[in-house]
Amino acid sequence: MLMIGGVLLGAIGGGLRAKARGGKRLDIAQYAAVYGILFGMIGLFLTIYLDRMLRG
């Protein structure tokens, strides 16, 4: 669940960041993809860590 949220928040944040810097449509798409992947991976590792900690 954290991974999906990370992908969505990363994509939105990356798109907004590229738009604020004056990027064109493909720039915005690239930033959204990269940030989505990055935040998705962080969410995945956080999910794995929490799962292992809660199971003991």
Question: What six digits make up the tokens of 3?
Answer: 């991974």
- Give the model confidence (pLDDT) of 9-19 as tens digits: 999 999 999 99
pTM for this model (two decimals): 0.89
Residue-wise DSSP of 6-29: HHHHHHHHHHHHHHHTT--HHHHH
- Give the model confidence (pLDDT) of 30-43 as tens digits: 999 999 999 999 99
**Is residue 56 over pLDDT 90?**
no
| The predicted structure's pLDDT at residue 51 | 95
Q: The domain containing residue 14 runs over which residues?
A: 2-55
23: left (phi over 0), alpha (psi -120 to 50) or beta: beta
* Confidence category of residue 1, pLDDT binned at 50, 70, 90: confident
If one counts the domains in the chain, the total is 1
Mean pLDDT of 7-28: 97
